[in-house]
Amino acid sequence: MPAASASNILSFEDARRAIEAQAALVQAPGNEFVELLAAAGRVLEEQLLADRDLPPFPRSTRDGYAVRSSDLTQLSATLDVIGEIKAGEKLDNLPASIGSGQAVSIMTGAPVPAGADAVVMVEQTTRHGDHVEIARSVSTGENIVPRGAEAQRGKVLVDRGDRLTDAALALAASAGKSRLQVYKRPRVAVLTTGDEIVDVGATPGPTQIRNSNSYSLAAQILGAGGQPVLLPVAPDEPQALRQLIELGLKSDLLLLTGGVSMGRYDLVEQVLSEMHAEFFFTGAKIQPGRPVVFGKCGADQHGAGAPAREGATAPPVGTYFFGLPGNPVSTMVTFELFARPILEALSGQSPHKLIFLHARLKSEIRVKTGLTRFLPAVLSGEFADSQVELVAWQGSGDIAATARANCYAVIPPDRGHIPAGDWIAVMLR
């Protein structure tokens, strides 16, 4: 039985848990090969293995002298310099082994020769012709990264489901991968609703509003690794709304905006329940974004839903949808909190927790208790001195104030007053 009419309003934490539980069940829509650079920001579908030890030889991390630490136990020692090794030096050119009382001049990134077990920085030495004077002791292993210490051949460098960050790309390059197998980007349909909404190219009448939500959502979808598919604006009329929802359900994820509040023309939940959707929640105790709806609509359920999704492999799994509240800041916040983890799962990304930073509050906050709040704020300062301050705003329709914010201040539901100077959680935007 669809639980549509029974409202199910969860705390923020419970709503997140519901999302995480569903995210764990999601299947990504296939894979593709892309060039190394095009893989930046994508999610790896294969395991990236080290094709050789990293580093492949004991690497000097300094310009200096390769030495035997046992020669340097006195206050000062003078060693014979028997040669020089630069980065990329052929193995044949290395001395067979350096003996007691000997040193080799060595450059950063060069292989440390056999016999040596430490490198002394050039700054700590004095060269006299064929000799070098070193007035300090060194410990075994100093300034040398042993062969394979960073990764041994065959070891997993980047795992399936990891996003390809700058460091991951660097690892792929050092493992000789010029192409990578990544997950396909899921297609995310965006369906904005409302009789008052006109698109950006149209001239709005005096009481009409331009559609901004489709564009903020498209930007968020792109940032989270999805491909936005913008549908036409749906009127507040069940028949037309249903047709567009059916179209949207052919994508890998459907995001609706507007039409989920208590107004007479808020039809999204009603139409989705007529389509036998399953609702995981129909609201969250947050602000902004309270009326947010999360559910799934079976592709062929009861013969009443949308046709099966193109290229769908698994049995009728249905399509996840979100009814995001229409107020633009609510739309942005609820995407971040709830839609993003599902989209990331559809992108093949391994689940991860929502991480908040912490900063000192600049001016006190007074709010009503009972809701977890995500209020547009400015994080400033640097090093240990970060401070956060709410931006003045006109509520969840105020995109101008939100554009001036660089984060959301996170206020837990039990705190009605937070004095200036307290540490609070902050979610970057």
- Which of the choices Mg ion, ligand AMP, none does residue 196 contact, using the CB cut-off of 5 to 8 A by kind? ligand AMP
Number of H helices, E strands in the chain: 8, 30
Based on the shown chain and the rule CB under 6 A, indicate whether residue 208 belongs to the binding site for ligand AMP.
no
Q: Which of residues 79-138 bind ligand AMP (CB under 6 A)?
A: none
Based on the shown chain and the rule CB under 6 A, indicate whether residue 305 belongs to the binding site for ligand AMP.
no
Which residue number has the CB closest to ligand AMP?
Answer: 326
Range in contact with ligand AMP (rule: CB under 6 A) among 66-74, 153-161, 253-261, 377-385: 253-261
As a residue count, the chain comes to 429
224 neighbors 344 (Cβ within 8 angstroms): yes
Q: H-type helices in 175-327, by residue range?
A: 213-223, 238-248, 268-274
Name the residue nearer to ligand AMP (CB basis): 2 or 258. Answer: 258
Report the SS3 class of residue 179. strand
Name the residue nearer to Mg ion (CB basis): 2 or 259. Answer: 259
Task: For 242-263, give the DSSP string.
Answer: HHHHHHHTTSSEEEEES--SSS
Range in contact with ligand AMP (rule: CB under 6 A) among 114-122, 199-207, 208-216, 341-349: 208-216
- Which of the choices Mg ion, ligand AMP, none does residue 347 contact, using the CB cut-off of 5 to 8 A by kind? none
Among 2, 161, 283, 326, binds ligand AMP (CB under 6 A): 326
Among 14, 53, 162, 196, binds ligand AMP (CB under 6 A): 196
Based on the shown chain and the rule CB under 5 A, indicate whether residue 258 belongs to the binding site for Mg ion.
yes
Among 209, 222, 240, 378, binds ligand AMP (CB under 6 A): 209
Alpha carbon separation from 152 to 7, 21, 142, 146, 175 (Å, rounded): 54, 35, 21, 11, 12
Beta carbon of residue 314, minimum distance to ligand AMP (angstroms, whole number)? 32
300, 349, 319, 181: which is closest to 255 by C-alpha? 319
Alpha carbon separation from 6 to 9, 270, 278, 378 (Å, rounded): 10, 11, 11, 38
318, 334, 337, 336: which is closest to 25 by C-alpha? 318
- Which of the choices ligand AMP, Mg ion, none does residue 327 contact, using the CB cut-off of 5 to 8 A by kind? ligand AMP
Cα–Cα–Cα angle for 156, 160, 165, rounded to 5 degrees: 85
Name the residue nearer to ligand AMP (CB basis): 145 or 240. Answer: 240
- Which of the choices Mg ion, ligand AMP, none does residue 251 contact, using the CB cut-off of 5 to 8 A by kind? none
Based on the shown chain and the rule CB under 5 A, indicate whether residue 194 belongs to the binding site for Mg ion.
yes
First to last CA, the chain: 38
- Which of the choices ligand AMP, Mg ion, none does residue 192 contact, using the CB cut-off of 5 to 8 A by kind? ligand AMP
321 neighbors 296 (Cβ within 8 angstroms): yes
- Which of the choices ligand AMP, Mg ion, none does residue 376 contact, using the CB cut-off of 5 to 8 A by kind? none
Residues 211-250, mask of contacts with ligand AMP (x by CB under 6 A): xxxx------------------------------------
Amino acid at 364: E
Structure tokens at 246: 């059916």
Check residue 54 and report its DSSP letter. B
Based on the shown chain and the rule CB under 6 A, indicate whether residue 327 belongs to the binding site for ligand AMP.
yes
Check residue 111 and report its DSSP letter. B
Residues that bind Mg ion (CB under 5 A): 194, 258-259, 326
Residues that bind ligand AMP (CB under 6 A): 192, 194, 196-197, 209, 211-214, 257-261, 263, 266, 325-328, 397
